[in-house]
Structure 1
Amino acid sequence: MTGQMRRERRPYDSTGRQAQASLSRARVLEAARRLFIEQGYARTPVSQIAREAGVSVPTVFARFQSKVNLLKLAVDTAIVGDEQEEPLAARPVMRRVREAATFAEVVERLADAFVEVAQRAAPIAAVAYAAADADPEIARLVDTLDAQRLTGASRLAEIVADRLGVTDPAAIRHLRDTIWTLNSFTHWDLLVRQRGWGAAEYRRWMVVALTALCTDAVR
């Protein structure tokens, strides 16, 4: 042993590398979402996404496997608002709906939730729906999105039915289908993007539509 003191090995700390990987992943998703919205899915090559995000093409494929999966994650993260694995149903905006004491409160809070999610997710969801006809994988993605919305609408219908004192299964199914239709991003695209409505105007329309149609669904 020499005169120098032997240095003790410190345990490897991967925190910095993980943080860097998370940052680059977020940059890729942000670039993909923006470019898909601006240019469309088919006209946006992975190479351009990689360049905009400051990473290599192999890095994009290593982290996202495919361009379709990149679109899926761009939609999923827009719906929930971040990359955390917590589903939308467990987020504060939906907890507020479950905690509403009356039907009127449920409707108001549902309208808030629809607006919050649509502002983030409607533009990128529109990309997926537009590309579905030309790509079977994206068509399956769209089917999955619609199925997830139906599952969410089923839970919301149960809340609405409870506040209205409704127990008839047929009426609850009608409520589910009504909510599933109203919370489609298509309505946001038609009224906000195409007709130029503001978010507040859209929210008022949603409150009126939910109140009228949910009430009618249980008559």
Structure 2
Amino acid sequence: MVKEAGKGRRAEYAEQTRQAILEAARELFVEQGYFATKVDEIARTARVAPATVYAVGGGKSGLLRALLLSGTETDDIDGILTRITTADDPHDLIAYLARSTREKFEGWSSLMRQVAAAAPQEPAVRESQEIAHRALRHGLDLGARRLGELGALAVPVERAADILWLNLCNAAYFIRTDDLGWSLDESEQWLTRTLPQQLLTA
């Protein structure tokens, strides 16, 4: 029993250390950018040795990958996907897609902005970016498929999925918020109004 308790405490400490390292990496990536952030700085912020950062995360690229994976595995993901696949009103489903992608963008845009900036120059960052893209695309594909099952689409399911991606991916949000200066409220209202016009029969 004593040995089991010891193992439990060690596992708890290891997880706390991992979370501290991930939080430090996220904070510094957002503040300084991926390339300007050094492993020594992550270690200092997390109050661990640099060797621990490498052991836990495999360096900066491993930490970024772990951060983006964590965003695809949050507790609310299953509920979001269930709501998408069981929706019975096309307009409500589109409004929900606009709301849920807005909320995810709101929570992750600071980090994803740095990922987008670094991805063209660093293959490992591009690979991590694809993790986030695949997860979002999967949800939007499910949304398009559900709209098709409801008999609501004016375009093929594959085209509907493309239209959703063009409007709801991070790059589209960056254009609306950064380039055009729209608020997220304005963006959501515009999406809720115009996506049915692009997708639905009525």
TM-score normalised per structure 1: 0.80
Aligned to 1:67: 60
Whichever residue aligns with residue 109 of structure 2, its letter is A
Distance 1:17 1:156, change over 3 A: same
Structure 1 residue 54 and structure 2 residue 41: aligned? no
Q: Does the CA-based 8 Å contact 2:30-2:110 persist in structure 1?
A: yes
Instruction: Give, in whole Å, the separation in 2 of the partners of 1:74 and 1:144.
Output: 10
2:4 aligned counterpart, secondary structure: coil
Once the two structures are TM-superposed, the CA of residue 159 in structure 1 deviates from its matched residue by: 0.9
Q: CA deviation at 1:158?
A: 0.4
Could you tell me the percent identity over the aligned residues? 23
Task: Give the count of matched residue pairs.
Answer: 201
Relative contact order (alpha carbons < 8 A, sep ≥ 6): 1 or 2 greater?
A: 2
Query: What residue in structure 2 maps to residue 130 of structure 1?
Result: 117
Structure 1: distance between partners of 2:179 and 2:44? 31
Q: Distance in 1 between matches of 2:95 and 2:128?
A: 30
Query: Does structure 1 conserve the Cα–Cα contact (< 8 Å) formed by 2:85 and 2:142?
Result: no
Q: Does structure 2 conserve the Cα–Cα contact (< 8 Å) formed by 1:131 and 1:138?
A: yes
Q: Which residue of 1 aligns with 2:189?
A: 204
Offset at residue 98 of structure 1 (A): 2.5
Q: Which runs of 5+ in 2 are unaligned?
A: none
Q: In the alignment, what sits opposite 1:34?
A: 27
Counterparts of residues 73-152 of structure 1 (less than 5 Å): 73-81=66-74, 88=77, 90=78, 92-152=79-139
Q: Is the 8 A contact 2:68 2:131 kept in 1?
A: no
Aligned residue identity for 1:17: R
TM-score normalized with structure 2 length:
0.86
TM-fit CA distance, 1:10: 3.5
**2:188 is aligned with what amino acid?**
R
2:13 alignment partner AA: Q
- TM-fit CA distance, 1:42: 0.3
Report the CA distance between 1:202 and its aligned residue.
Answer: 2.4
Distance 1:74 1:98, change over 3 A: same
- 1:18-33 equivalences in 2 (<5 Å): 18-33=11-26
Look at both structures and tell me which one has the larger radius of gyration over its CA atoms: 1
Q: Distance in 2 between matches of 1:176 and 1:38?
A: 34
Instruction: Give the whole-Å Cα distance in 2 for the aligned partners of 1:76 and 1:209.
Output: 31
Partner Cα distance (1:23, 1:61) in 2: 16
Match in the other structure for 1:191: 176
1:80 Cα offset (Å): 4.3
Residue in 1 that maps onto 2:158: 173
Amino acid of the residue matched to residue 177 of structure 2? V
1:163 matched residue in structure 2: 150
Q: Which runs of 5+ in 1 are unaligned?
A: 1-8
Helix, strand or coil at the partner of 1:137: helix
What is the letter of the counterpart of residue 103 of structure 1?
A: P
Query: Matches of 1:65 and 1:94 in 2, distance apart?
Result: 31
Deviation at 1:196, TM superposition (A): 4.6
Structure with bigger helix share is 2
The CA distance in 1 between the partners of 2:111 and 2:24, in whole Å, is: 12
Which stretch shifts more, 137-146 or 59-68? 137-146
SS at match of 1:12: helix
d(CA) in 1 for partners of 2:123 and 2:3?
48
